[in-house]
Amino acid sequence: MNILVCVKQVPDTTEIKIDPVTNTLIRQGVPSILNPFDGYALEAAARIKDADPSVNISVVCMGPPQAKDVLVECLAIAADKAYLVTDRIFGGSDTLATSYILSCAVEYLEKTNGAKFDLIFCGKQAIDGDTAQVGPELAEILGRTQVTYGLSASMNGGAVRVEKEVDGGVEILEAQCPALVTFTQPHQTEEEAQAHPIPRFPTIKRKMAAKKAEIPNVTAAELSMIDATRIGLKGSPTKVKKTFVPQRKTGGIKIQEAEAADSAKKLFSLLSDAKII
Amino acid sequence: MEAKTKDVWVFIETNDDGTAKNVGIQLLTPGRLIATKQGGKLVALVIGSNADAAINDANTHGADEIVVIDGPEYKHYSTDAYATALTEVLKKHLPTSVLIGATNNGRDLAPRVSSRINTGLVADCTALDVDEEGLVDWTRPAFGGNLMAVIKCPDHVPQIGTVRPGVFKKPEETASKANIIKEDIHVPENEIRTKVVEIIKDMGAENVDLEGAKIIVSGGRGVGGPDGFGVIRDCAAALGATVGASRAAVDSGWISHAHQVGQTGKTVGPELYIACGISGAIQHVAGISGAKVVVAINKDPDAPIFDVADYGVVGNLFDVLPVLTEEIKKARA
């Protein structure tokens, strides 16, 4: 069985600061990381492989050449093969154009490998764009069944069984392969997360092998079927009109009386005077 | 492809019992604004099973027209049944714009459908307007709330966006006036490719409606343990508020995941958000950007939560919160 995990290299949004003078994002010096939700998807694939070592895990990443770093990381964690989908003409793609390019890459890889991907796993969303759209859009273009908000997955014969997060609990869904599943953060306590980090830590041996692994580029030249009118900035139906840094609260009122009880009373009178409570 | 009408459609998501989820009714507010500016009707689309309650709810909250797709296959949400129904009805009527609540189901459905229709989709919007050309300006947070982007979909119809629950308030109730149009769209069982094996209700999640809450009192790492949520619950009870939590508190196992606010939990838009013992990690702050007023109580004066707070109390939450609760009780007695 073959599983493809789609990953993205993202800026670590927890490290992004705002320049107080220009009121713009400071991207310089912000580390690039494997999108955390994609790490959950990779771990879900690794657990299926734990149960059946014959499973083959491929990872694919669309991005600039330096995005190869996250592919090396995925190889070290659990993947068997990795591919970088990269071409200048892919730049500026919105979610629909991105999912179209990825769908072409999937078809190309299936053709060159001579085998279908039974499962495609994605992170629920990337922490930079936060759209959660590429997974379902890719599933639609490929005509595959989709399950979103997955917490974990296992195989039941020819079907994938997914624990899915829904309002008010968890739903267990089953879908026949081929299917596409997106993953969110599994519910773990801190103790569980320390004992079983998601994704798992790579072994030294896997780390060494990953560094030496060959990671083929998949460019527009390989994707001969691609329709150039559906990619890049021009092929994207949505356009960014402008971006701005949201107004920070400057008029926030600080309350710090000598006695906590007095602070609480002051807060209450301010809130009730402003008719907030 | 061009729009057939200048109408705005609002998707009214239903619960299994045929009632409407709050967000659909809330979206009739920006739906009306867009319809007025674009010169079209405000149409509510109800998909569900025996959904009279949802139809009535849309009707008493200002919809000009209600399109209903009713069938047993729509009782419980499935991607395949809903995507087929929504695609067919949108292709038939081709409105200019469509608003869908950014619930788990809404964000599962909308990209499937926009991809099938080959149009643009904007995710999890927090503000909506219409420009001078009649195009919707979809405003949404990105980079964990550090950046806002205004997005357009100029050359494709319909323009579709998912909109964050809680950001807009329901319109005032009015007399029912809508034309009700039934669309006969059915999806055979064998075309629904996912099977529900089991539904596991989270007992801790009952009555936790963070998305619909007017007031949320939330606890974080500073709460110190499951018992520490006692003072949070007391304050919430006095205010008629919903209890929220940061990821740190949920990961520590102190409270059920259903209470989690933030990037991996629920994004919320209450009138008042009281953050107690929450440091204010960017993932948490991103989830409360829809809140009108933020109060922070934290003993660390440098906690980043104070940067987004309208009222910041520097102090131990266990000393501050019980007094606040007493004051509220006195005032409301």
- Asked if the model's pLDDT at residue B1 lies above 80, the reply is no
CB–CB of A170 and B253 under 8 A?
A: no
- Report whether B264 contacts B283 (CB < 8 A): yes
Residue A250: predicted pLDDT? 67
Residue B211: predicted pLDDT? 82
Residue B130: predicted pLDDT? 97
Chain A, chain B: beta-carbon pairs less than 8 Å apart: 261
CB–CB of A140 and B112 under 8 A?
A: yes
**Candidate from A94, A129, A169 with C-beta closest to B200:** A169
Q: Which residue has the higher pLDDT, B258 or B206?
A: B258
**How close, in Å, is residue B289 to chain A by CA atoms?**
10
> What's the pLDDT band for B290 if we cut at 50, 70, 90?
confident
Which residues does chain A have within 8 Å of residue B307's beta carbon, measured at their own beta carbons?
248-249, 252
Pairing, β B179-182 against β B159-163: unpaired
User: For residue A217, what are the CA distances in angstroms to A82, A86, A160, B233, B312?
Assistant: 9, 7, 30, 55, 52
Residue B274: predicted pLDDT? 98
Please give the Cα distance from A251 to B304 (Å, whole number). Answer: 15
- Asked if the model's pLDDT at residue A24 lies above 90, the reply is no
Q: What is the pLDDT of residues B49-72, one digit of tens each?
A: 999 999 999 999 999 999 999 999
> What's the pLDDT band for B141 if we cut at 50, 70, 90?
confident
- Report whether A28 contacts A44 (CB < 8 A): no
Give the list of residues 6+ apart from residue B124 with CB closer than 8 angstroms, or none.
A130, A131, A132, B102, B107, B140, B141, B162, B163, B164, B267
Which residues does chain B have within 8 Å of residue A22's beta carbon, measured at their own beta carbons?
none
> What's the pLDDT band for A249 if we cut at 50, 70, 90?
low
Please name the residue of chain A whose CA is at the shortest distance from the CA of residue B105: A166
Interface test with B, best of A38, A133, A198 (most B CBs within 10 A): A133
Mean per-residue pLDDT of chain A: 94
Q: Tokens in use for B298?
A: 């934290």
CA angle B295, B107, A41 (to 5 degrees): 95
Q: What is the pLDDT of residues B176-219, one digit of tens each?
A: 999 999 999 999 999 999 999 999 987 777 668 888 889 999 99
The predicted model gives A239-248 an average pLDDT of 86
The predicted model gives B147-163 an average pLDDT of 95
Please give the Cα distance from A141 to B118 (Å, whole number). Answer: 10
- Asked if the model's pLDDT at residue B304 lies above 80, the reply is yes
Residues in A 56-95 with any Cβ partner in B closer than 8 A: 94-95
Please name the residue of chain A whose CA is at the shortest distance from the CA of residue B142: A129
Please give the Cα distance from B12 to B3 (Å, whole number). Answer: 21
Please give the Cα distance from B223 to B229 (Å, whole number). Answer: 6
Question: Which segment of A111-115, B34-38, B211-215 scores lowest on mean pLDDT?
Answer: B211-215
Q: What is the pLDDT of residues B311-320, one digit of tens each?
A: 999 999 999 9
Please name the residue of chain B whose CA is at the shortest distance from the CA of residue A144: B193
Please give the Cα distance from A90 to A70 (Å, whole number). Answer: 19
**How close, in Å, is residue A129 to chain B by CA atoms?**
5
The predicted model gives B286-303 an average pLDDT of 92
Mean per-residue pLDDT of chain B: 94
Pairing, β A179-183 against β A145-156: parallel
Q: What is the pLDDT of residues A154-192, one digit of tens each?
A: 999 999 999 999 877 899 999 999 999 999 999 888 888
